[in-house]
Chain A
Amino acid sequence: MFDYESLRLIWWLLVGILLIGFAVTDGFDIGAAILLPFLGKTDTERRVIINTVGPHWDGNQVWFITAGGALFAAWPRVYATAFSGFYWAMLLVLFALFFRPIGFEYRSKSDSARWRNNWDWGLCLGSFVPALVFGIAFGNLFLGVPFYFDELTRPIYTGSFFALLNPFALICGLASVAMLALHGAIWLQMRAGGDVEARAQHYANRIGPALSTLMLLAGIVMLTVVEGYSITSEVVGDASSNPLNKQVARVENWFANYEQYPLLWALAAASLILPLGVSLLAKANRPGWGFVVSSLNISVIILLAGSTLFPFVMPSSSDLASSLTLWDATSSKLTLEIMFWVAMVFVPIILCYTAWGYYKMWRRIEPEFIEQNSVSNY
């Protein structure tokens, strides 16, 4: 039905969609948890925050797990190279994420104030660290990652964990944290009652400009310092997946795609303006629209990052030809085809029942509600 080349392009889009699904849904519960100790001053207030995401965080987190599974199935070489190369970054993410399921579920199962406060910080850090590390990892993709393949094409990573923590990547990491914190703040303004709502509004108001500034800063560094990568041999979209069959060169910057598709400049501009839009809507007390714009903002930022790298997925800085692109790091045609149809059938079904769940649980969580239903809530 589709040729290999189209399937590869479709899967690049699908991976993007899964990442966007993850950042938009799990993003607000990560953001809310990052803000938890700062927005909730009393136990009831913190429970208000936690219970706005209570019924949803688990389903949301599956976007992350599925994105991991989809990478494995559609881009096995990327899954293998990225996760083993970024070993400590990935383990740090996992160790941090551990504190979320248990934090949510166990926090209110004891009355001890210390117990609860500790779990709250666990939830906060367990959400902050992954947000930061994802941004840092993305930043490093633009800089290139030092790896090559040995004679059996085993990926060998030659960098270190600390080399990932360069200034540009740290800007990206902070931008990622700000993006999700903004998303969490506007969610809480929409769904939490009492003082939390007002504080969330205040935070949403402040984080938007900060995110805009970080994006601008990242853009300036991209324009002035960061070198790009370019395929210099002919691109064969339906050749078998062997990354070593091409030639790659370093070029001045990553903006070749922008010259070809000027629309990307509009996306870049949107990533600077949309965060401000979220803050304005928060200030105008329209958090519902604010949440929509924040979701759009997240989608734009992820799409922008992906399109700037296109067709690269993971460039290699130490052995240019080993760079992984969406043309030569994919699964076989049959696997891509099967997975495409599975996604076509199940993603809409997932969206339907997820939407039903949100519709059924939709209400503002007021402090009185928590106090009256102390046993049945988180």
Chain B
Amino acid sequence: MVSETVVELSRWQFALTAMYHFLFVPLTLGLSFLLAIMESVYVMTNKQVYKDMTRFWGKLFGINFALGVTTGLTMEFQFGTNWAYYSHYVGDVFGAPLAIEGLVAFFLESTFVGLFFFGWDRLSKVQHLTTTWLVAIGSNFSALWILIANGWMQNPVGSYFNFETMRMEMDSFAEVIFNPVAQVKFVHTVSAGYVTGAIFVLAISAYYLLKNKDTDFARRSFAIASAFGLASVISVIILGDESGYEVGEVQKVKLAAMEAEWDTHEAPAPFTLVGLPNQETQETEYAVKIPYVLGLIATRSLDEEVLGIKDLVERAEARMRNGIVAYELLLKLRNGEDTPENRSAFMAVQNDLGYGLLLKRFTPDVVDATEEQIKAAAMDTIPGVAPMFWTFRVMVACGFTMLLLFTLAFYFTAKRKEHKTRWLQKFALLCLPLPWIASETGWFVAEFGRQPWAIGEILPTYVATSHLSESDLWLSIFGFVGLYTAFMVIEIYLMLKYVRKGPSALGTGRYDNEVAKEKTEEVVQYV
């Protein structure tokens, strides 16, 4: 079996590379739509400044996009390199949306992004506008298919276990696509992307306003960002709530961990606003509770219970005992005892096979698990409560702060006072990191909250890895961290450089700080 360290390191590597990738994705999702909106205004009004806005924000988009593509490469192949058993076990279902993402979405986005940058003189106005919209639509389609794949990891529908091939196989593609978890995840995530794009434009425009630089350009950008951002942030919050409801339906453990709900409370359950969850004693110290609210969020009713962690552990224990039987029968079926009796007995318990596999971490043979091991494995079905509890609250706090910002920004823009309201400009600039903090904590809640499962109740993370050595993992993590850190430094350097230049970076001669450049005809000779 695989060592515990290899599993831990594989998780670290995946988390690091995925969270790093996710620094660039939300901005691409949001900024591409903002570019499309700006260019639409240009085509409709024929005002040059909107074309310049599209091109300038497009330059920043490009700097971000390059790293999104770079880090995305890792994601397409890392399942194979580091999660080989996962890839084999669920590739039949999980691989399909990933491949479709390439064919349907990423081709569209990447082909047209080239035309977006290089096509200004080669395409008609309407052709170029169409190109920009296709980039935006392509990137959002990408998100759709990726989240269908991710939604299936959370809530694996439309599939069954085939003991002959030793893997999950798809039996309903429609169920996989219309997985309710995938649907709410998609709308919540892309809305978060729109908010990211909006804050990015809003904060940098606010910076120009603070500096009294390119005021006209900045005000128009600020206005578009505040309207788009307000609509998006409202949508994130409403759809986030919808997401909470969906989690309550299908991922009760995740919900209980997020809310540090140790005991099943009489309906309707109160919502713990803050407190210090303690995994050892299974209690939340210094809890500040608001009555009824959790019951309302999670069940949309006043009389349904929200299951607590202690009850969920008991449930897991019962399924684990079935899982041991399932595992034993599976080995029989695969080792020449493929009798009708064994088959039907296996069918009866196969849904709990995943729980049997959870025991692999405690005893490689599973069937000889002791009572203590079963108890320990059942406790293990609960992810770390305190990290879940806190990251979730940080995400929500960021969301509401941004709601406040966009409401104010929209209000002052409507009053045509945004360029004189300096405290608002400073507030906008300070809020720049918030969408990234919210996206990363949101990612953490969704994926850490899935543990100990790679595929919810089907495949434990522990058995999902590749057969690699600890030194392989250390070396590859070192490689990723080293390269990614260097790229990050370069990206931030370029971003700051172009933000400082502002629209003068376009070299049109229409903007502040533009010096009539004398062309120095210096020829650089390389050796």
Binary per-residue interface labels of chain A (127-168) against chain B in the complex, 1 for a CB within 8 Å, 0 otherwise: 000000000000000000000000111111100000000000
B490 proximity list for chain A (CB < 8 A): 102, 106
Contact B169 A332 (CB under 8 A): yes
B257 proximity list for chain A (CB < 8 A): none
Contact B80 A90 (CB under 8 A): yes
**A240 on the B face (CB < 8 A):** yes
Contact A154 B467 (CB under 8 A): yes
Binary per-residue interface labels of chain A (37-66) against chain B in the complex, 1 for a CB within 8 Å, 0 otherwise: 100111110100001001111110110011
Which residue of A is nearest B82, CB measured?
A: A84
Binary per-residue interface labels of chain B (514-527) against chain A in the complex, 1 for a CB within 8 Å, 0 otherwise: 00000000011110
**Chain B 36-79 interface residues, beta-carbon cutoff 8 Å to A:** 62-63, 65-67, 69-70, 72-74, 76-77, 79
**The stretch of A73-81, A216-224, A252-260, A278-286 that contacts the partner chain:** A73-81
Binary per-residue interface labels of chain B (134-177) against chain A in the complex, 1 for a CB within 8 Å, 0 otherwise: 00000000000000000000000000001011110111010000
Taking the closest CB of chain B, its distance from the CB of A268, in whole angstroms, is 31
Contact B110 A73 (CB under 8 A): no
A335's partner among B77, B84, B170 (CB-CB below 8 A) is B170
Q: With A70-B99, A72-B98, A346-B104 in contact, is A153–B110 under 8 Å at CB?
A: no
Q: With A42-B526, A105-B63, A339-B96 in contact, is A334–B88 under 8 Å at CB?
A: no
Bound-state Cα–Cα, A151 to B5, Å: 21
Contact B524 A113 (CB under 8 A): yes
Q: Which label, helix, strand, loop or mixed, suits the secondary structure of the A interface?
A: helix
Which residue of B is nearest A57, CB measured?
A: B114
Q: With A62-B106, A76-B88 in contact, is A83–B81 under 8 Å at CB?
A: yes
**Chain A 310-362 interface residues, beta-carbon cutoff 8 Å to B:** 331-332, 334-335, 338-339, 342-343, 346-347, 350, 353-354, 357, 360-361
Q: With A117-B526, A335-B170, A338-B96 in contact, is A346–B84 under 8 Å at CB?
A: no
Contact B102 A59 (CB under 8 A): no
**A241 on the B face (CB < 8 A):** yes
Bound-state Cα–Cα, A304 to B70, Å: 31
B81 proximity list for chain A (CB < 8 A): 83-84, 87, 90-91
**B483 on the A face (CB < 8 A):** yes
Bound-state Cα–Cα, A173 to B523, Å: 36
Contact A346 B96 (CB under 8 A): no
**B494 on the A face (CB < 8 A):** yes
**Chain B 398-453 interface residues, beta-carbon cutoff 8 Å to A:** none
Bound-state Cα–Cα, A94 to B74, Å: 7
Contact A240 B526 (CB under 8 A): no
B86 proximity list for chain A (CB < 8 A): 80
Binary per-residue interface labels of chain B (475-496) against chain A in the complex, 1 for a CB within 8 Å, 0 otherwise: 0100100010001001100100
Bound-state Cα–Cα, A97 to B494, Å: 20
Taking the closest CB of chain B, its distance from the CB of A352, in whole angstroms, is 11
B87 proximity list for chain A (CB < 8 A): 72, 76, 79-80, 83-84
Query: Would you give 11 A-B contacts (Cβ < 8 Å), ordered by A?
Result: A42-B525, A73-B99, A76-B88, A102-B487, A116-B524, A153-B88, A339-B100, A346-B104, A353-B111, A375-B506, A375-B507
Q: Which 10 pairs across A and B sit closest by C-beta, in order of nearness? A: A76-B91, A83-B80, A66-B102, A73-B95, A72-B95, A59-B111, A69-B99, A84-B84, A105-B66, A84-B466
- Residues on B lying within 8 angstroms of A by beta carbon are 62-63, 65-67, 69-70, 72-74, 76-77, 79-82, 84-88, 90-96, 98-104, 106-108, 110-115, 117-120, 122-123, 127, 162, 164-167, 169-171, 173, 331, 463, 466-468, 472, 476, 479, 483, 487, 490-491, 494, 497-498, 505-507, 523-526
- Residues on A lying within 8 angstroms of B by beta carbon are 37, 40-44, 46, 51, 54-59, 61-62, 65-66, 68-74, 76-77, 79-84, 87-88, 90-91, 94-95, 97-98, 101-102, 104-106, 109-110, 113, 116-117, 120, 151-157, 240-242, 331-332, 334-335, 338-339, 342-343, 346-347, 350, 353-354, 357, 360-361, 374-377
